[in-house]
Structure 1
């Protein structure tokens, strides 16, 4: 009986990550299709509709938006909407957090430097992400403190600490690998 349970658990460990990943992408595409379907039916006659056209239309629309935001007038309108969002009490918290999260994930690509670091705290090595180079200077003057975000495993949360640059050890991992290690508590399925 124990052998059977052990085999079932091994099968579950093998199938669950693959199954959940496939289901997540299926759910994401199906949801995008449902949300985009009314827009697609406004543009295309219903005779031409086929499953997947909503996703394709959404991707083309996002590419068009990406092109249009480069125009001066649109950038000005984006700044106005950003100022408006930053004045509405609950909206500014959500908007600011989402904007900061997008900045963190694109940080290493934009700056070209390694932003995954290790920070020693009471003999422990914690994985963090350099996020506040300029804010450290603004808040603490000439102390050369750097903002480091320390994520919590299996949670959406963490803390930002400002530490001296010489206390940080750059790690030779990509931002994605560092986030995966930090968020999963160091459990890795490969390498």
Structure 2
């Protein structure tokens, strides 16, 4: 009985969490319907709500925003809007920080998480997975003697939080694995070994 119960948990828990996350995302995105006038919302037009309609509207808004801001006029309007935000005391610091992070993570020219590394952290003799994010620059680089790199050390099992470190390049070991494989290794708390993750990726890509 115990073995069957654990087997059932191993099958149903990942499915339940997946559906819960999707439901939370879709429910949050459905809030974009509040941007529409009351008479244009699905419940007013057809008499009932359509789950996920707000998610489609959100994707459409993002697409149209990107389309409009790719031309000269759109870029000019965005630059004016950003200059306006930079003159608001508290909003300025929050917006500039989030803008820099999003540009690094989502820009096609960014170098966020370019390589998976093995470093000693939080003490010598204790090893963990880290990701190369670049090299220190500006005022920070002036105070460093030698070749240093910037790395991000994610927490487990939530890799969206972690620690930013500047370490000597010689203290980092570059791993022969993709960033996705290393992230799976971190999220699984070491249960999904790199070889297992790489094999599953190859089998998934094989028709």
- Which band: TM-score by shorter chain? 0.7 to 0.9
Partner of 1:149: 152
Cα deviation 1:30-63 (Å, max 9, x = unaligned): 3322432652766578436872433323222211
User: 1:25 offset after TM fit, Å?
Assistant: 0.9
Preserved CA contact (<8 Å) 2:152 2:162: yes
Preserved CA contact (<8 Å) 2:149 2:168: yes
Pairs within 5 Å for 1:72-91: 72-83=72-83, 85=85, 91=91
Partner of 2:102: 102
User: 1:137 offset after TM fit, Å?
Assistant: 6.3
1:92–1:162 distance in 2 versus 1, CA, 3 Å = same
1:139 is aligned to 2:143: no
Partner of 1:13: 10
Once residues 184 and 85 of structure 1 are traced to their aligned partners in structure 2, the CA distance between those partners, rounded to angstroms, is 40
User: 1:26 offset after TM fit, Å?
Assistant: 2.5
TM-score relative to the length of structure 1: 0.72
- Ranges in structure 1 where 5+ consecutive residues have no aligned partner: none
Secondary structure of 1:123's aligned partner: coil
**RMSD of equivalent CA atoms:** 3.6
Partner of 1:178: 182
Cα deviation 1:102-150 (Å, max 9, x = unaligned): 34544787449942211235123321111232x3465224622111111
- Ranges in structure 2 where 5+ consecutive residues have no aligned partner: 198-207
Tell me how many residue pairs correspond in the alignment: 187
